[in-house]
Amino acid sequence: MKRCVEGDDRKQVALLPECVDDYIGQDNPVRVIDVFVDELELEVLGFDGTNPALTGLC
């Protein structure tokens, strides 16, 4: 019985891609929805909390 897993790279930095965007293809329709929502003026539409606090800015 082996006690070690052989063949896997032990120096692998991450198991998953660095960001969720890496999972979505360039031709995926969700990209259109993302652009549409980014262009909406949410404060004008009556949504509260659309401006980040100073602690949330980089």
Residues listed for the chain: 58
The answer to whether 30 and 37 are in contact (CB under 8 A) is no
Question: What would the pLDDT profile of 43-52 be if each residue is shown by its tens digit?
Answer: 899 888 887 7
Q: What is the pLDDT of residue 50?
A: 82
Select the more confidently predicted residue: 16 or 1.
16
Mean pLDDT confidence for 18-27: 84
Which strand (E) or helix (H) includes residue 35?
helix 30-39
Q: Residue written as tokens 């949330």? A: 56
At residue 8, does pLDDT exceed 80? no
Letter for the amino acid at 15? L
Letter for the amino acid at 45? L
Q: What is the pTM of this model?
A: 0.51
